[in-house]
Amino acid sequence: MIMNSLYYQKKLSRNVGDKFFTSLSVFCALIAILPLIFVVTYILIKGGAQITPELFTLEPNPPGDDLDAGGINPALIGTLVITTIASIIAIPVGVGGGIYLAEYSNGGSFSKFIRFGVNVLAGVPSIIAGVFIYALIVSTKILFGSMYSGFAGGMALSILMLPTVIKTTDEGLKLVPNELRYASLGIGASMYTTILKITLPTAFRSIATGVVLGIARAAGETAPLIFTALFSYYYIVGFEDLFYEMGSLAVLIYNFALEPYDAQNKLAWAASFILVISILTVNIFSRIFAAFTETTKRV
């Protein structure tokens, strides 16, 4: 019987193969992360150079003359307003739906149907959500006779947020140990008190993270807004502006990046910079928030 040495032998075919596949998977992992690094760096360099204080305060100038392009204040505020409207609609409905799926449904055909529907909705292209709201609200002028409006934009985005919120609520609640529910029910709490006072607060962290990620996703959407909120060059000054065309960072980028004028292109870069930075911030913030609440809960 031949005794092999116990020392590691580089030339053995299994060791060569092992090395090869390890390097291959590292290489693929690097390629996968490259686009993110390039996109973010490119936008940071191109857009970062355009950041000025006036950018945040001025209205954009209409393209066509060689004047200064102005700022992106209406689009910035518009994105905030539209995302807020979307959150106001999607968070209660989504959390409520998630509660039904995780707490009340008994795995019957109705809940299966809802889960399936939510998965399908998550896969619906965002432009379809835009066209749907266009057909439902914009073209019918059903909202106080207004056509394109920030409100319609918010509704379109809420459709996109909904599946994320429902799924994370559902999954977050399922992670809550059953013992905790039994404990509460065992001392005579009703189902509703148990959910409101025990289960939801325990799952708050994962639900909040999901909600924040849903908001971040919605904030960057363009296609649904083109059909619903359209675009506006003017400051948002009052409540009634909700029912008129409303600008947003994403649509501003879409409009101005295609203009033949340099000034508008630069504005689009600046807007990209701000959009990317805010979405990154929100993502990182939600992670820090999650980690923070996790460590405090175990004390």
Footprint of other proteins (CB under 8 A): 106-107, 177-190, 193, 197-198, 201-202, 297-299
The residue among 53 and 107 lying less far from other proteins, judged by its C-beta, is 107
Closest CB to other proteins among 66 and 179?
179
- Is the CB of 185 or the CB of 208 nearer to other proteins? 185
Q: In this complex, which beta carbon is closest to other proteins, that of residue 26 or of residue 183?
A: 183
CB of 175 to other proteins, least distance (A): 13
Measured from the CB atom, the residue of 109 and 178 that comes closer to other proteins is 178
In angstroms, rounded to a whole number, what is the distance separating the alpha carbons of residues 212 and 227?
24
> How far from the centroid of its chain's Cα atoms is residue 84's Cα?
12
CA distance 142 to 130: 16
CB of 105 to other proteins, least distance (A): 11
CB of 92 to other proteins, least distance (A): 24
Residues 203 and 173: beta-carbon distance below 8 Å = yes
Q: Which of left, alpha, beta for 270 (phi over 0: left; psi -120 to 50: alpha)?
A: alpha
Report, in Å, the least distance between residue 96 CB and other proteins: 21
The least CB distance from residue 225 to other proteins, in Å, is 40
- In angstroms, the CA 124 to CA 131 distance is 12
Alpha helix locations (H) across the chain? 13-48, 73-99, 109-123, 126-133, 150-174, 178-186, 191-193, 200-219, 223-228, 249-257, 262-297
